[in-house]
Amino acid sequence: MAKYLVTGAAGFIGSSLIRALLERGEQVRGVDNFSTGRRENLSEVMKEIEFREANILDLDAMHSACKGIDYVLHQAAIPSVPKSVLDPIGSNRANADGTLNILVAARDAKVRRVVYAASSSAYGDTPTLPKQESMIPDPISPYAVAKLASEHYMISFFRCYGLETVCLRYFNIFGPRQDPSSPYSGVLAKFSMQMLRGDEPTIFGDGETSRDFTYIDNAVSANLLACSAPGDQCAGRILNCATGERITLNQTFEALKKLTGYKGTVKYAPEREGDIKHSLADISLAQKHLGYKVLVDFETGLRRTVAWYKNQRQPVGAV
C-alpha cells in the first residue's frame, strides 16, 4: 500500500482526491491551513486519514508531513486570478513559495513522485486553440505567473535532484464541493448556487468568453494516472488536464437555467482584470503518456454538480 500526502486536503479538489484514494485502499495524510479549504469537505473521511493543520509555507511542518510518503499530490493554493491581481505577493507566497517548500521537503524525504495542480492560465490569451503543452507560455495575471513558476520549479527538481515530478495543467475544474461562497469562486459553483437561490448571476464580458470546463472526476483520474504511470512516460512533464471541448459563459447560463429552474435574467459587467478570453486544451499528450481519458463530459458533470448543490440541506455559504 502506498502512502499519499495531499496538500490542500480540505479544498474541493484535494478532498475529492482523498475520497478516491481511500476507495482504492490507500493510506492518506492530508495538510491544510483552511485558508480556502473547508472542514466540511473532510468531515466524512477525517477518521480515515491522518490530518495535520499546517501551512505549506512552514518548511519544518512540510518536512515532517513528507516523512514516509510515496506520492505527494500538491493541490494547496490560492486559486484565483482576481485575488492575485489584488494581492500579488499573497498569491506568490501560496502559489510559488509554497510549491518550492513542498519540493524541498519531498526531495529531502525521498518521496517517489510529486504531482502538481498547475493551471491553464499559464497559456495566457494567445490566439491559437487548442492549447498544446509545447506552446510558449504567456501568463497574464500574477496567479498565472506564480503557477507557471511552480511548474518550472517542479521540472528543475526533476533535473537537478532526480525527484520525479508531473505538472497537470488543470483547465477550470468544477464539481460538487467547490466553494460557491466567495466573490473569487469558480464561475460554475457561483452560478449554480446563485441560480438555485433565484439570485441574478453576473457575466463579466459579453458572455462569449469560453472555457474547457472539466468535471472533477477527470482531474482525480489524471492524478491517479500521474502516480501510476511509468517514470519514463511522465516524470519532468507538463500535461493538460481537460476535456478538449469549450463552452461559453452564455451557454453555461442557458444550461444552468434548465438544470436549476431559474427564470430570471443575467447581468453583464465589464471583463475582469487578468481574464483570458478563450481556453481549450489539446489532451493528446496526457492520453499518450498517462492513458488519460475523459470519464465525465461537461453536461453530465454539470447535472451532477447542480444535483449536489440542490441536495445541500443548508446552503454552503452566502453568495
Q: How far is the CB of 305 from ligand UD2 (least distance, A)?
A: 13
Residue 55 DSSP one-character state: -
272 binds ligand UD2 (CB under 6 A): yes
Kindly report the backbone phi and psi dihedral angles of residue 173, in degrees, each rounded to the nearest multiple of 5, phi listed first: -75, 135
The yes-or-no answer on residue 143 being catalytic is yes
Say whether residue 268 binds ligand UD2 (CB under 6 A): no
Write down the catalytic residue from 143, 170, 292, 309. Answer: 143
- Please count the other Cβ atoms lying within 10 Å of the Cβ belonging to residue 176: 21
Of 128, 202, 228, 265, the one binding ligand UD2 by CB under 6 A: 202
What's the closest the beta carbon of residue 284 comes to ligand UD2, in angstroms? Answer: 19
Q: Kind of pairing, strands 173-174 and 214-215?
A: parallel
Return the residues of window 224-253 that contact ligand UD2 according to CB under 6 A: 249
> How far apart, in whole angstroms, are the C-alpha atoms of residue 280 and residue 267?
25
Give the three-class secondary structure for 141: coil
Q: Specify which residues 215 forms β-bridges with.
A: 174
d(Cα 53, Cα 56) in Å, to the nearest integer? 10
Q: How far is CA 306 from the centre of its chain?
A: 19
> Could you say whether residue 209 binds ligand UD2 (CB under 6 A)?
yes
Closer of 52 and 272 to ligand UD2 (Cβ): 272
Q: How far is the CB of 249 from ligand UD2 (least distance, A)?
A: 5
CA 153 from centroid of its chain's CA atoms:
18
Q: Which of residues 73-132 bind ligand UD2 (CB under 6 A)?
A: 79-81, 119-121
Residues that bind ligand UD2 (CB under 6 A): 79-81, 119-121, 170-172, 186-187, 190, 202-204, 209, 211, 249, 272, 275-276, 279
Residues noted as catalytic? 143
